Copies of this chain bind each other. A is one copy, B any other.
């Protein structure tokens, strides 16, 4: 239960063990055709979702470098380790990044974004995050998108650990470039990245020749019109993606979001029932981060969860190293996984001498789950 790579359904894993087909065959084209449709549904967009063979970071770089010319201005909504990566990408490409800092664990304030855009009317691209994996925070992307939409700037969103785990509507919310990775709520191993591109973004992209080859979105657009990719893609992963997207379609996008919402609320309730402190004031729905209580070490809790229950969670990154534990509940997970993880946490905390009432977290989680309408299991 890490916030990615997340669990991969068995039927998806088995796809990966199939003999490799040729990536320029009619069969491969059929697969991309179906996948292209499924991705549009997940992204909630009418625009093409381009497929890159890369980590999610590759999709972020593609969004930045194709949209903002060197010397152009970007407004980076800097509220965590991965948001800061937007700034690093800009720096590497000579993009003038204005960093709008928000305390880690707090959501970006849309009013501050509006103010910053007034101060920097020449902003070409606002770069934000749907779900900040390093802090477990969900940002108000809908509200920010509506502000950016009223300006000449485009809105690029790192949805790597968010899309498929929390409600996100690219077109309705004014997200011009939405970047997603395969290894989070899409239930695949890592290796693929996706980016949707709005007409407003294409106008900026078509206005100059970006200094990039492999990540050229123009090249990807041209090939996507034929349901193809410019270079040999990781097409066994694309084949497996088809199966994962069929699962999502069968469950229904709204149901998928609802399942994650309930898992998230249940996990939060459980953590709080143990008198542990949630790290984020606006938790993301694909993971829950809590502060490590005084007297305990990050490693103590996580190692013991692995040793006793084979349960993998993850600690903090960067300045949060040793300060938080993050529990992922995205993709191929359901309410009972959350209950089980909370039960394990209760036992491990007691083992470590941090006394908690056995069942307290589990009960709190169940109460959340009982209060919500039934959601079809993902398994």
Query: Closest approach, in angstroms, between the C-beta of A168 and any C-beta of chain B?
Result: 20
Query: What 0/1 readout, one digit per residue, does chain A (229-264) give for beta carbons within 8 Å of chain B?
Result: 011111111000000000000000000000000000
Q: Please report which residues of chain A, range 282-296, place their CB below 8 angstroms from some CB of chain B when the two chains form the complex.
A: none
What number of copies of this chain does the assembly contain? 2
Closest B residue to A230 by CB, please name it: B57
- Complex: how many Å from CA A22 to CA B328? 12
Q: Is A16 within 8 A of B19, CB to CB?
A: no
B-binding segment of A41-49, A105-113, A206-214, A347-355 = A206-214
| A20 at interface by CB-CB < 8 Å | yes
Q: Contact size class for A? A: 35 or more
Q: Is B190 within 8 A of A23, CB to CB?
A: yes
Residues of B within 8 A of A183 (CB): 20, 232
B-binding segment of A86-94, A137-145, A371-379 = A86-94
B-binding segment of A5-13, A115-123, A267-275 = A5-13
Report if A214-B213 is in contact (Cβ < 8 Å); known contacts: A13-B17, A22-B5: no
Residues of B within 8 A of A23 (CB): 5, 190
Q: Is B22 within 8 A of A232, CB to CB?
A: no
Residues of B within 8 A of A17 (CB): 13-14, 16-17
Closest B residue to A85 by CB, please name it: B213
Residues of B within 8 A of A368 (CB): none
Q: Is A190 within 8 A of B232, CB to CB?
A: yes
Report if A312-B92 is in contact (Cβ < 8 Å); known contacts: A53-B191, A55-B53: no
Residues of B within 8 A of A22 (CB): 2, 5, 312, 314
Query: Closest approach, in angstroms, between the C-beta of A137 and any C-beta of chain B?
Result: 20
Report if A213-B89 is in contact (Cβ < 8 Å); known contacts: A7-B19, A312-B22: yes
Q: Is B88 within 8 A of A189, CB to CB?
A: no
Residues of B within 8 A of A57 (CB): 213-214, 230-232
- Complex: how many Å from CA A70 to CA B94? 13
Closest B residue to A237 by CB, please name it: B191
Q: Is B181 within 8 A of A232, CB to CB?
A: yes
Query: What 0/1 readout, one digit per residue, does chain A (356-378) give for beta carbons within 8 Å of chain B?
Result: 00000000000000000000000
Q: Is B190 within 8 A of A234, CB to CB?
A: yes
| A225 at interface by CB-CB < 8 Å | no
- Complex: how many Å from CA A89 to CA B7? 37
Residues of B within 8 A of A114 (CB): none
Query: What 0/1 readout, one digit per residue, does chain A (54-72) give for beta carbons within 8 Å of chain B?
Result: 1111100100000000100
- 22 A-B pairs in the complex with CB atoms less than 8 angstroms apart: A2-B22, A5-B20, A7-B20, A8-B19, A13-B17, A13-B19, A14-B17, A16-B16, A16-B236, A24-B314, A53-B55, A53-B190, A54-B54, A54-B214, A58-B214, A58-B231, A70-B211, A93-B211, A93-B212, A93-B213, A94-B211, A214-B215
Top 4 A-B residue pairs of the complex, sorted by shortest distance between their CB atoms: A191-B234, A17-B17, A55-B231, A16-B16
Interface residue ranges, A against B (CB under 8 Å)? 2, 4-8, 13-14, 16-20, 22-25, 53-58, 61, 70, 88-89, 92-94, 181, 183, 189-191, 209-216, 230-237, 312, 314
